[in-house]
């Protein structure tokens, strides 16, 4: 049987890998981009190194392209290869009538059109609504708002490693992933 290509792991940025705020928190920011003070989620570098060893990586954010490119340049290690970096321009805008506001959806069929298999694709995001068309591919991270004691990425790293060899990631129930990882909060 031929060896499977590594799974494509798509990472969200805001409230998943970092917290950006126009208001400074009590601790020093890790960087600034435009009017935003940026606070990198604890264990981010270790998380990215682990993911890079086991997956093909990409970034997809519902933020603007200029902000996203600046953030990616700030937080990702040099030499880390990304399959793509997509901003809100690649999202589908939807209107939520209940709360009377627009939101962005990341439809993985757009990635599939690039030749990636939906069975071999994961997306990590803090907002389920943004991946509402692909729940079977989604792993939800707790939103990050600058807590220096946060350890979500440590646990997520261990869980993702356990999925790296799966032939079909959509066949696995991922909603309770924190109960199935070796590095729990």
In a domain, 159, yes or no: yes
In a domain, 1, yes or no: no
In a domain, 112, yes or no: yes
Characterize 64-83 residue by residue with b for buried, 16 or more Cβ atoms within 10 angstroms of its Cβ, and e for exposed. Answer: eeebbebbbeebbeeeeeeb
Lookup: tokens for 82:
């990304």
Q: Give the total number of structural domains in the chain.
A: 1
Q: What is the pLDDT of residues 39-61, one digit of tens each?
A: 999 999 999 999 999 999 999 99
In a domain, 99, yes or no: yes
pLDDT of residue 184: 42
In a domain, 160, yes or no: yes
Q: What is the pLDDT of residues 68-106, one digit of tens each?
A: 999 999 999 988 999 999 999 999 999 999 999 999 999
Q: Which of 149, 124, 148 is nearest to 134 (CA)?
A: 124
Q: What is the CATH number of the domain that holds 165?
A: 3.40.50.1000
In a domain, 51, yes or no: yes
Spatial separation of the C-alpha atoms in residues 136 and 121, rounded to whole Å: 10
Lookup: tokens for 79:
């030499």
Kindly tell me if the per-residue pLDDT of 111 is higher than 60. yes
pLDDT of residue 179: 85
Question: What is the extent of the structural domain holding 169?
Answer: 8-180
Kindly tell me if the per-residue pLDDT of 176 is higher than 90. no
Q: What is the value of pTM for the model shown?
A: 0.93
In a domain, 131, yes or no: yes
Q: What is the pLDDT of residues 120-139, one digit of tens each?
A: 999 999 999 999 999 999 99
In a domain, 141, yes or no: yes
């Amino acid at each position: 049987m031929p060896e499977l290509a590594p799974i494509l792991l798509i990472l969200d940025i805001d409230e998943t890998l970092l917290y950006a705020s126009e208001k400074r928190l009590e601790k020093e920011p890790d960087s600034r981009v435009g009017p935003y003070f940026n606070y990198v989620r604890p264990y981010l570098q270790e998380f990215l190194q682990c993911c890079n060893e086991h997956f093909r990586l990409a970034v997809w954010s519902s933020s603007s392209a200029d902000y996203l490119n600046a953030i990616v340049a700030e937080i990702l290690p040099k030499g880390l290869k990304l399959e793509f970096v997509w901003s809100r321009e690649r999202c589908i805008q939807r209107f939520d009538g209940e709360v009377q506001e627009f939101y962005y959806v990341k439809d993985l069929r757009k990635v599939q059109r690039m030749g990636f298999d939906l069975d071999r694709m994961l997306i990590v995001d803090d907002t389920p609504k943004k991946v509402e068309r692909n729940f079977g591919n989604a792993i939800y991270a707790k939103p990050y708002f600058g807590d220096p004691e946060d350890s979500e990425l440590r646990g997520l790293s261990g869980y993702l490693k356990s999925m790296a060899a799966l032939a079909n990631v959509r066949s696995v129930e991922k909603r309770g992933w924190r109960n199935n990882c070796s590095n729990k909060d």
